[in-house]
Amino acid sequence: MPVKLIAIDVDGTLLDSTAQLPENNRRVLHEAAVHGIEIVLATGRSFHHTRELATQMPAQTVLILNNGSLVKDRTGLTLASHGLPAETARYIVNETRAAREG
């Protein structure tokens, strides 16, 4: 069965220990894209902190960001978003404040 998609973690996997993209990794991902293989980067980072890396990826690269809560293309177009409901976020903030104060 041919490979159709490569999903790869960013920090410590795709990037080296200095948070740089090794030339060999960049080349291999571009070669894969030329052969029709979809590239997906997965990271806990925000788009803001992934933007520079995204510019080095093949055009059709998809980014899974913020620990899976946001999916964007490499230009920043949001493809899917799965944020916390406002009520849940407020509850977490209030409980955290109460724990710090108590």
Tell me what pLDDT residue 75 has: 92
Catalytic position from the list 9, 11, 16, 73: 9
Is 9 assigned a catalytic role? yes
Per-residue model confidence as pLDDT tens digits over 51-60: 999 999 998 9
Q: Which CATH architecture has domain 5-101?
A: 3-Layer(aba) Sandwich (3.40)
Cα separation, 87 vs 6, whole angstroms: 36
Per domain, the residue ranges of the chain are 5-101
Per-residue model confidence as pLDDT tens digits over 32-56: 999 999 999 999 999 999 999 999 9
CA distances 47 to 4, 6, 36, 92, Å, are 24, 19, 24, 23
Contact assessment for residue 35 and residue 69, using Cβ atoms and an 8 Å cutoff: no
Per-residue model confidence as pLDDT tens digits over 8-36: 999 999 999 999 999 999 999 999 999 99
Q: Beta strands 70-73 and 62-65: pairing type? A: antiparallel
Tell me what pLDDT residue 100 has: 87
Does the pLDDT at position 102 exceed 80?
Answer: no
